[in-house]
Each structure stands twice: as C-alpha cells, then as structure tokens.
Amino acid sequence: MASTITASTLKVTIQEDIKLNGVQQGGVNTLNIGSVNEIYKRIVTCPADVDTTLAVFKSTTAVADAALDIEDVKYIRVTNLDDSNSVNLSLQVDAGENDGDADESVTLLLEAGKSFIMGSPHDGIKVKDDGATIITSLVDLESIIIDPSANAVDVEIFIASV
C-alpha cells in the first residue's frame, strides 16, 4: 500500500509579548521541522489519583501497543489545559536503551496552562542521581506519564514524526 500522505514542514513559534515602561521585552523564536508526515495529537482526561500514560516510545514499535517510533519523533509538546491545577509530568527513561520498561524517571511540575516541549526522545535525556554534573551521554525517553494528584485534569499531547 502506497501512502497518500504528503510530508510537510511543521512551523513552531514561541512568542513572549510584554511591554515594560513602554518598551517591548518579549521575543519570538521560530523552528521549522521538515518532512513531517505523522502527527499524534490527543486531549486526554487524566482522572484524579490515577497515573495516565500519554505516549510510549520504542525503537521497535511492535514491542508495545501504540508505541511511537523513537527515531522518527522530532517534536513533543504536552500542555496542561486545566485553569487552576498543576500536574506532575513524569519522563520515564530507558537507561539501558533495550526497549524494555523504564529504569529511571524525571518528574517536573507542569503548572495550569503551561507547556513542556522537547525534541527527539531518541538519545534525548539522562538522569544522574549522584553529583550535580553535566551529562553528555544521553539515552532514550521510554514514555510520558501524567500524575494529576487529587484533581481530574485535561492535558493535550502533540507529537510530530518524520
């Protein structure tokens, strides 16, 4: 079966708009990601007190149902759509890079209305629990999980792949 999808360029624009004392202090940054031919976009209701997996990344997508090809993903955005409640965004790390379950995790607070953005999950993250040193040998992101604590919240996930 030949695909009828024509790849396109994803344009991502981040803009801050603020005037202080009559002078614009914001900025605009634009990123173009070419050859995008797959989009994964969902608005997900995360029930109170239940961890919700938003996406799973594997080098062999047959390893896990609905897994995204880790080498094809080029852009990830998670937005907390709630207007008052924060969530814990957990980045599950496959430190062994063996398409197995996560070995490590990093958890970030994602406040109401805010977004988390990253590029490729392939060799895109690493956790080190001893010593505050910069790590340059990165490994794979295995999945993204939302912990909404005691509040049901909606989050949006947007992933672009080539």
The Cα–Cα gap between 23 and 150 comes to 42
> Tens digit of pLDDT for each residue in 14-41?
999 999 999 999 999 999 999 999 999 9
Residue 129 has pLDDT above 90, yes or no: no
**Hey, what domains does the chain have and what are their CATH numbers?**
38-161 (2.60.120.10)
Give the global pTM. 0.94
> Tens digit of pLDDT for each residue in 54-112?
999 999 876 678 899 999 999 999 999 999 999 999 999 999 999 989 999 999 999 99
C-beta neighbour count of 153 within 10 angstroms: 23
For the record, the structure tokens of 157 come out as: 């996930």
